[in-house]
């Protein structure tokens, strides 16, 4: 494993690990994700015998720096900087809201992307689950500005993940909660990334129309219906998309279940 850095267009330092050898695959975390998370590290190790895996801290997380004000385009520029630093072309894998970011990047950087795989982008396109409140991002920003990271994570857990209130207090006593709070200031970023696709209405016309390469859209067998509905609609929307189901899995997917599918897809 080699730890490396690259400067994004706005001067933000993006820190990443380069692991393995072969075609380049960049992993894009979702909300509250970071490159040293145990599941992320496990997925990297399972892919590294086939690919050059780029495992990076998104801006504002882990060892990467940040530059305000935030825009989604800046995160796309971060991915472009990684691609340019690793030879000029790459495949992407995006997880959850990171899947939506990966779709946005593939739409803007289609000439530099070989293949795209996404796991359960949170697309709320019908009535199979409630849409996110229209003021969701504003709530998160208010909590962060007040210095209340616990409140910000709670808003995410209750409104985005729909975790009932009775489960949130025990979760706050888990050591993992503090790790969530450490990156809670980036929750509004993911809120902005998904803002247009969590309203309970169909995808906007022309959304991701420049995603031209092969795209694998994956959902867990036991995941909520809206993940499957969104995945199917996304595949219909893409130029070259396929829908795959991971047996026995849900949104908290096991790397050991995910890695074989990714290897098969990227090696085609």
* Domains of the chain, residue spans: 2-126+198-267, 136-193
Domain 2-126+198-267 CATH superfamily: Alpha/Beta hydrolase fold, catalytic domain (3.40.50.1820)
d(CA 181, CA 63): 15
148: left (phi over 0), alpha (psi -120 to 50) or beta: beta
The three-point CA angle 75-29-53 to 5° equals: 95
pLDDT surpassing 90 at residue 205? no
d(CA 150, CA 160): 15
Average confidence (pLDDT) over 131-146: 98
pLDDT at 102: 98
pLDDT surpassing 90 at residue 254? yes
Looking at the chain, the whole-number percentage of residues with pLDDT higher than 90 is 97
pLDDT surpassing 90 at residue 204? no
Q: CB–CB of 101/94 below 8 Å?
A: yes
Between strands 52-56 and 13-20, the pairing is antiparallel
Judged on CB neighbours under 10 Å (0-12, 13-18, 19+), 41 is middle
d(CA 84, CA 54): 12
- Residue-wise over 184-211: b if at least 16 C-beta within 10 A, else e? bbbbbbbbbbbeebbeeeebeeebbeeb
User: In DSSP terms, which residues pair with 25 in a beta bridge?
Assistant: 53, 91
Q: Grade residue 227 by pLDDT with cuts at 50, 70 and 90.
A: very high
d(CA 91, CA 210): 15
Q: CB–CB of 12/59 below 8 Å?
A: yes
Average confidence (pLDDT) over 172-201: 96
| Tokens linked to 144 | 């962060």
Q: Grade residue 197 by pLDDT with cuts at 50, 70 and 90.
A: very high
26: left (phi over 0), alpha (psi -120 to 50) or beta: beta
Tell me which residue has tokens 């970071």: 34
Q: CB–CB of 36/17 below 8 Å?
A: no
DSSP string, 122-146: ----SSSSPPPPTTHHHHHHHHHHT
pLDDT at 196: 95
Q: CB–CB of 35/67 below 8 Å?
A: no
pLDDT surpassing 90 at residue 265? yes
d(CA 21, CA 24): 8
d(CA 223, CA 240): 24
Query: Global pTM?
Result: 0.97
Mean pLDDT of the chain: 97
Instruction: Return the closest-CA partner of residue 180 out of 44, 13, 30, 14.
Output: 30
Q: Grade residue 268 by pLDDT with cuts at 50, 70 and 90.
A: confident
pLDDT at 176: 92
């Amino acid at each position: 494993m080699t730890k490396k850095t690259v400067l994004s267009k706005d001067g933000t330092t993006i820190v990443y690990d380069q692991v393995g050898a072969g075609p380049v695959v960049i992993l894009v975390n979702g909300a509250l994700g970071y490159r040293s998370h145990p599941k992320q590290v496990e997925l990297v190790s399972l892919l590294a015998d086939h690919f050059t895996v780029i495992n990076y801290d998104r801006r504002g997380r882990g060892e990467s720096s940040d530059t305000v004000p935030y825009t989604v385009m800046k995160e796309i520029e971060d991915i472009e900087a990684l691609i340019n630093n690793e030879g000029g072309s790459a495949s992407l894998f995006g997880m959850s809201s990171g899947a939506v970011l990966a779709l946005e990047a593939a739409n803007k950087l289609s000439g530099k992307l070989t293949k795209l795989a996404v796991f359960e982008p949170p697309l709320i396109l019908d009535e199979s689950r409630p849409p996110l409140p229209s003021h969701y991002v504003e709530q998160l920003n208010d909590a962060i500005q007040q210095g209340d990271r616990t409140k910000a994570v709670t808003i995410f857990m209750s409104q985005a993940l729909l975790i009932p209130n009775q489960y949130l207090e025990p979760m706050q006593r888990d050591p993992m909660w503090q790790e969530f709070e450490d990156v809670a200031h980036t929750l509004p970023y993911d809120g902005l990334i998904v803002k247009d696709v969590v309203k309970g209405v169909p995808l906007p016309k022309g959304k991701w129309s420049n995603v031209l390469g092969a795209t694998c859209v994956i959902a867990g067998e036991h995941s909520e219906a809206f993940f499957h509905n969104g995945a199917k609609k996304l595949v219909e929307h893409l130029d070259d998309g396929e829908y795959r189901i991971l047996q026995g899995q849900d949104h908290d997917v096991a790397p050991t279940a995910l890695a074989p599918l990714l290897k098969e897809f990227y090696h085609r």
